[in-house]
């Protein structure tokens, strides 16, 4: 079974209709149906909370509901801080690639799992195209 790391830019599109929301739902549904396995650093919950908080039409109650629905998806969440090797690698990636620590946590998981990161973030794709798959190009 294929395994991917998924970031907040993809998951948010399942709750906020915008370009490529259909592709985001395709990724999530493939996970729910057992056709692929998704994982993410646990910090994705905080990133989603921030995305929902900033959205002008999403109330705090709706943000809470969306986060709960995300957690119900049973995406494998990993606390980077509980794995010294991943934490060290995330710090290294961040400095070497000049990326945010958040993005580097996703990439540390990608390297560990020998997977690809699915993202809608074209800047991140441009920085590490060999480790990242753009959401708009996702094919199961």
Condensed to tens digits (0 to 9), the pLDDT of residues 105-122 reads 999 999 999 999 999 999
Q: Above pLDDT 70, what percent of the chain?
A: 100
- How far is the CA of 14 from the CAs of 8, 46, 85, in angstroms? 10, 16, 31
- Say if residue 140's pLDDT is above 90: no
The boundaries of the domain holding residue 87 are: 2-137
Tokens standing for 116?
């690809």
Half-sphere exposure in the Cβ direction for 128 (13 Å, CA): 21
Total-model pTM: 0.95
**Total structural domains within the chain:** 1
């Amino acid at each position: 079974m294929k395994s991917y790391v998924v970031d907040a830019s993809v998951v948010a599109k399942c709750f906020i209709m915008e370009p490529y929301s259909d592709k985001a739902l395709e990724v999530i549904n493939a996970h729910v149906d057992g056709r692929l396995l998704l994982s993410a650093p646990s910090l994705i919950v905080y990133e989603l909370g921030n995305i929902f908080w900033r959205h002008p039409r999403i109330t705090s109650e709706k943000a809470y509901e969306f986060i709960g629905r995300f957690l119900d998806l049973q995406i494998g969440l990993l606390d980077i801080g509980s794995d010294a090797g991943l934490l060290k690698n995330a710090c290294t990636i961040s400095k070497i690639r000049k990326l945010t620590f958040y993005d580097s946590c996703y990439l540390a998981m990608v390297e560990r799992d020998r997977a690809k990161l699915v993202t809608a973030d074209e800047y991140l794709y441009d920085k590490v195209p060999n480790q990242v798959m753009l959401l708009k190009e996702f094919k199961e």
